[in-house]
Structure 1
């Protein structure tokens, strides 16, 4: 870890092939972002990818290790978009990854609809209620709760962005799976692959990776589970290999 100033720090992403700028007062990248980057089926080098709710850029940075395809990364928060831009520049990826500092609902003049091979998204997991979604830290609220866009907004926009037979890859919470599948099908995205992530083998899943294909035929594959921690709260061998394979 390299210290840059009182707020920012420069870290490695897993595999130590990409650097990422982060801040102490904002969520750092986490397991879900790294797993999503590995789960997504990236297109060939001439394809196009767009990452929604990009945060400080962990997903596009990791995907850039697997493809030379152009990647747009959409992030509403100026601070996070700035960190992502610094990371992209530091890794020499300015020609591949482009940051769009906009709400994903305001992309009309920023993107070409129906043109992307892959949409990825690590969205806010929680709905805004009278009790939840109003964290004193606005940046944390936007990262955790559907303040700027709902799950349906995200899936609708993803369907508009991706070309026919293109893919949407998303990480979310298992308790919202029924809603995710229903809304995907509403917008012509057919769920095709699902993979559950468990903190431990005797615990319930706390993450789910989902892939859908626009205009795809019905038929859902359930991939082998990912179990993060084994005895002694250390990474399982399988997870460690997956997490650090970059």
Structure 2
């Protein structure tokens, strides 16, 4: 059996947060950080669910924005769940973050059955790709396949299940490749979510957008606000560094 290569990485710039990551599995990247600072956290945001927490990087980053919020961090893969527990403890977030091992398709049904309190917000950096894309290249790595492709969970299941366990006017937020924008908006409206805030993320100016941040609200009025575009890198392609504006987003934004 191949030995796992687990390394400790910083989570953002100058944030005092660190994450153990298994280099053979899904690792956090800029989309995790941008989603963590994009979501709305206000005085009414008390309970958050993260669907597919993996190593808990996103939940830990969000928790540092407001010490009063509580997060249920759900993960279907046991190896990732074990890393999540390790990371939550390492960052002293045990009081704020509750890691849960389970399948979201069962989780929301059980949550409903027990009539548990609904969430103020749900956040997800979901499996992006449909199962007919890039499968041959990744079939040797089951953990990565589940994290990146709609094998165990798809976008419609996430949105439908979320509609059952979120409060009225609650926030459901995603980061997605730009190719999934129309799919996401169509499914959100199908299940009574209204896309309220959208932000495009570009690698550089004069290039096509790479991914999109979408925040919707459940049973809310229509109308969408488009946030200022994010351009990740300097225009000079020979310089592989982030713009200062991007670096400023790499630290948890306080409420």
**Aligned pair in 2 of structure 1 residues 101, 27: CA closer, same or farther (>3 Å)?**
same
CA shift, 1:228, in A, is: 0.5
1:238 paired residue number: 245
Query: What is the distance in 2 between the residues matched to 1:185 and 1:46?
Result: 23
**Aligned pair in 2 of structure 1 residues 219, 130: CA closer, same or farther (>3 Å)?**
closer
Secondary structure at the aligned position of 1:210 is classed as strand
| Residues 43 and 117 in structure 1, CA contact (< 8 A), matched pair in contact too | no
1:97 paired residue number: 97
2:24 paired residue number: 25
User: Does residue 1:179 correspond to 2:186, yes or no?
Assistant: no
Query: What is the distance in 2 between the residues matched to 1:144 and 1:213?
Result: 25
Query: What is the distance in 1 between the residues matched to 2:193 and 2:44?
Result: 24
CA shift, 1:110, in A, is: 5.3
Query: What is the distance in 2 between the residues matched to 1:200 and 1:187?
Result: 34
Query: What is the distance in 1 between the residues matched to 2:65 and 2:226?
Result: 23
Structure 1 residues 5-84: aligned runs within 5 Å: 7-15=5-13, 16-44=15-43, 47-67=46-66, 68-84=68-84
Mean Cα displacement is larger for which, 176-185 or 38-47?
38-47
User: Does residue 1:147 correspond to 2:157, yes or no?
Assistant: no
User: Does residue 1:109 correspond to 2:116, yes or no?
Assistant: no
| Residues 46 and 120 in structure 2, CA contact (< 8 A), matched pair in contact too | yes
Alpha-carbon deviations, 1:106-150, whole Å to 9, x = none? Answer: 113357566101100000110012863752100010011000011
2:161 paired residue number: 157
Secondary structure at the aligned position of 1:146 is classed as coil
Report how many residues are paired: 242
**Aligned pair in 2 of structure 1 residues 237, 168: CA closer, same or farther (>3 Å)?**
same
Query: What is the distance in 2 between the residues matched to 1:29 and 1:90?
Result: 17
Name the TM-score, length of structure 2 as normaliser.
0.89
* Aligned alpha-carbon RMSD (Å): 1.9
**Aligned pair in 2 of structure 1 residues 119, 168: CA closer, same or farther (>3 Å)?**
same
CA shift, 1:27, in A, is: 2.3
Query: What is the distance in 2 between the residues matched to 1:6 and 1:150?
Result: 28
User: Does residue 1:191 correspond to 2:190, yes or no?
Assistant: no
CA shift, 1:197, in A, is: 0.5
Q: Answer 1 or 2: higher relative contact order, Cα 8 Å, separation at least 6.
A: 2
User: Does residue 1:222 correspond to 2:222, yes or no?
Assistant: no
**Which ranges of structure 1 fall in alignment gaps of 5 or more residues?**
none
**Which ranges of structure 2 fall in alignment gaps of 5 or more residues?**
none
